Amino acid sequence: MSIKSKDFVQIKFPNSPAISPDGKKLVFAVKKVNQKKNQYKSPIYLKIAGRSGYKQFTAGNYVDTAPQFSPSGDHLAFLSSRAEKGTQVFIMSIDGGEAFQVTEFPQGVLGFSWSHNSKLINVIARVNEEELELILNPKKEKVPSFVLEPVEYKAYKSKKEELKEIRTDPRVISDGYCREGTSYLDGRFTQPFIVDISEFDDEKAQEIPKKIIHIGEHGFHFSLGTFSLDNKTVFLARYAEDPTLTLEQEILKVDISDPSEKIFIGRVFGRGVENLQLSPDGRYLSFHAIRKEKIVYDDSQIFLFDVKKHEVGNFVCITENYNRSAIQSRWFSKDTLLFLCPRDGKINIHKIDINTKETESVVIGDRNINSFTISKDGSRLAYEVSHVSFPSDIFWCKADGSGEERVTEANKEYLTTHIPAKAEEFNFERDGVNFQGWLLVSPDYNPNEKMPLVLEIHGGPAVMWTPHEKTLWHEWNTLVSNGYAVVFCNPRGSDGYGVDFRAAIYKNWGNMPAADILKSLDTVLTKYSFLDPNRIAVTGGSYGGYMTSWLVTQTDRFKAAISQRGVYEFVAFSTTTDIPAWFEKQYEGEIIDRFSNIWKDSPVAHVRNLQTPLLIIHSENDFRVPVVNAEQLFWLGKRYGKTVELVRYPRDGHELSRSGEPRHVIDRIDRIVDWIQKYNK
């Protein structure tokens, strides 16, 4: 049975594994579509070592994510949508029962971590000054009874909604970093708080006595921190200034009893400074950043700070010679860290010795490991895997990688009747550089019949695609089921092949990687005679949207093109995106001085050359690549009589294809297929 776009409502995505401190219990979430509400739901499930199967642990109608066992092992905390105000932290006993709300921040919580004694929770949440005041000095608001005073209650609710609307009518913006995701920040800054739940009692959990301590500083944006072993201080990072102006962040140590006293540890570089963790013996603080001298094209590096010596600014990069990205690192022992590494078309778990800086593989295979966790006692690992044959599942094993057990087969029933595509790797060389690519075809394709082809291009640009990419599993298989072969590669600029490979497109987003991609196309057409060179479509999102529009304004070899959430005009993009400082580093220099230089690398500058029918897909709340980019490309296409169409999705943002409204996810794939079938004849 073929895989269709509408099958999205049947596909399940297990994710976010977490292991109890003793390694005997495993929890994970499973993302599903809530068809009645055009939303998602994500219950948490529990697996006990030595027992077959697993059971649902939390209610099924909410989005429950990011589960974490308390260090004591007797409670589970997680983020949940079941709260009235956004996503909040909830706690429940690991023996089951009711989940109780711990936080009540006005706009919800972005992330959290436990203290080592299980009595404190560090959270980050976005708040403005008025909300911060109410959090620290709460005022009990008298709410009318809906039962006894229905008229008064209705008036109360109406007034609350009117006040909320009036506060952003007009919307006054004074911060450069004013929007992210799909929302305006409205004066809110990402702030760290400590929630004291030391008096939490399961029997009286409805009235959790909790003290909230603000350990941040309004006017700065912070990352989630980690506790010291004595639970008296927190290590965290904050942007040195407005994140639209700088990529530099400051590492700080904050005394919980006196948060105004922030000890400066040093300044680091990189938009993604994150994953601060303390070694088991408390000696080292680890985190991810990039080397400043490598600007924006560096691989993700692991840095250490010696807490005992406390030499300000003395950060040691332990992955200096690794020449691959190291992400999602976790302490395995006081001398070793485990981390994920995107490398040569697969993502596996590796280990590094912090003293010798030597690395070794721990859990390997031709697959993607998208996230992983370690039990506190170091006995077991759990991880989420995606593979060309399934979207995602949870596995666990012993600490040395042996004894692997597949915990879930979430889509087993679906996959017995819907056979996914098979992948064939191909390799090619250009300018003395070796490349990887893949071809996806139906398992029962007829090699004697000419098959049309869809060229897919990844975003980033520093991303690595593999045939095991879970976010594209459904789209690629839908295309294959409609009779198309799918081809993709990792051109220069991609992750997974070293710093020099990533750096090759510095100040050159177009010509070099475009030539790599076209060489991959020539390679598969030569290698596989059943592919039809006269029926080729091309599509991609974000940077892939840029490259799609770049290719069809530089060549006429494509019959159809679908450009999604792409960057089409560098001046507009660099002055409206929420990451202008990042783009300034991509093209080296202040934006205002480079208009003439970056115009020639903008696809809209070459729109007169467009001969391929082009469908432009964009989300109206995309603040990473604002919709003005799509409007420019569309209008200029119409201005010069080209075949162009623009589809705009309301409410969704840059993550439409990965986590947009389910109806929009399906509709987007349908429009891609329809456009290709219409023009790729």
Say yes or no to pLDDT of 363 above 90. yes
Q: What is the DSSP string of 373-395?
A: EE-TTS-EEEEEEEETTEEEEEE
- For the domain with range 421-679, which CATH number is right: 3.40.50.1400, 3.30.365.10, 3.30.410.10, 3.40.50.1820? 3.40.50.1820
- Give residues with Cβ within 8 angstroms of 513, minimum separation 6: 461, 491, 492, 493, 504, 505, 547
Say yes or no to pLDDT of 596 above 80. no
Looking at the chain, the whole-number percentage of residues with pLDDT higher than 70 is 99
Say yes or no to pLDDT of 97 above 90. no
Rounded CA separation 428/523 (Å)? 7
Q: Where are the domains of the chain?
A: 421-679
- pLDDT for position 139: 77
Greatest CA separation found in the chain? 79
- Provide mean pLDDT across the span 395-419: 96
What would the pLDDT profile of 220-254 be if each residue is shown by its tens digit? 999 999 999 999 999 999 998 899 988 899 999 99
C-alpha to C-alpha distances, 221 to 128, 180, 670, nearest whole angstrom:
12, 13, 39
Rounded CA separation 561/548 (Å)? 7
Q: Which residues pair with 330 in a beta bridge?
A: 338
- pLDDT for position 158: 83
- Give residues with Cβ within 8 angstroms of 391, minimum separation 6: 11, 12, 13, 410, 411, 470, 473, 474
pLDDT band at 209 (very low <50, low <70, confident <90, very high): low
Say yes or no to pLDDT of 144 above 90. no
Rounded CA separation 380/460 (Å)? 33
Say yes or no to pLDDT of 554 above 90. yes
Nearest of 495, 479, 496 to residue 487 by alpha carbon: 479
Tell me which of 84-93, 463-472, 521-530 is least confident: 84-93
Rounded CA separation 633/177 (Å)? 26
Rounded CA separation 493/600 (Å)? 19
CA dihedral 611→617→621→624, nearest 10 degrees, is: -60
Count other Cβ atoms within 10 Å, centred on residue 245. 14
Residue 320 sits at the vertex; the CA angle it makes with 319 and 323, to the nearest 5 degrees, is 80
Count other Cβ atoms within 10 Å, centred on residue 629. 29
Rounded CA separation 65/75 (Å)? 15
- pLDDT for position 140: 72
CA dihedral 63→69→73→74, nearest 10 degrees, is: -30
> What is the SS3 assignment for 417?
helix
Rounded CA separation 371/65 (Å)? 13
Tell me the two tokens of residue 183: 């929302």
C-alpha to C-alpha distances, 542 to 151, 390, 574, nearest whole angstrom:
49, 25, 14
- pLDDT for position 203: 65
- Give buried/exposed letters for 560-594 (b at 16+ CB in 10 A, else e): bbbbbbbbbbbbbbbeebbbbbbbbbbbeeebeeb
DSSP annotation of 171: P
Rounded CA separation 79/99 (Å)? 11
Average pLDDT, the chain: 93
Q: What is the DSSP string of 569-638?
A: -HHHHHHHSS-HHHHHHHTTS-GGG-HHHHHTTSGGGGGGG--S-EEEEEETT-SSS-THHHHHHHHHHH
Phi, psi of 8 (to 5 degrees): -55, -30
pLDDT band at 157 (very low <50, low <70, confident <90, very high): confident
- Provide mean pLDDT across the span 30-55: 94
- pLDDT for position 77: 97
pLDDT band at 207 (very low <50, low <70, confident <90, very high): low
Tell me the two tokens of residue 339: 């981390």
Tell me the two tokens of residue 615: 């469908």
What would the pLDDT profile of 261-299 be if each residue is shown by its tens digit? 899 999 998 877 889 999 999 999 999 999 887 778 899
318, 303 contact by CB (below 8 A):
yes
What would the pLDDT profile of 303-335 be if each residue is shown by its tens digit? 999 999 999 999 999 999 999 999 999 999 999
pTM given for the model? 0.94
- pLDDT for position 357: 96
- Provide mean pLDDT across the span 515-542: 97
Say yes or no to pLDDT of 590 above 80. no
Starting from the edge strand earliest in sequence, which strands make up the sheet with 422-430, in order?
A: 422-430, 433-441, 485-489, 451-457, 531-541, 560-564, 614-619, 644-649
Rounded CA separation 153/156 (Å)? 5
Angle between helices 543-552 and 511-527 (to 10 degrees): 80
- pLDDT for position 159: 83
DSSP annotation of 348: E
Q: Which residue has the higher pLDDT, 1 or 155?
A: 155
Say yes or no to pLDDT of 26 above 60. yes
Tell me, what amino acid is at 477? N
What would the pLDDT profile of 607-641 be if each residue is shown by its tens digit? 999 999 999 999 999 999 999 999 999 999 999 99
- Provide mean pLDDT across the span 490-494: 97
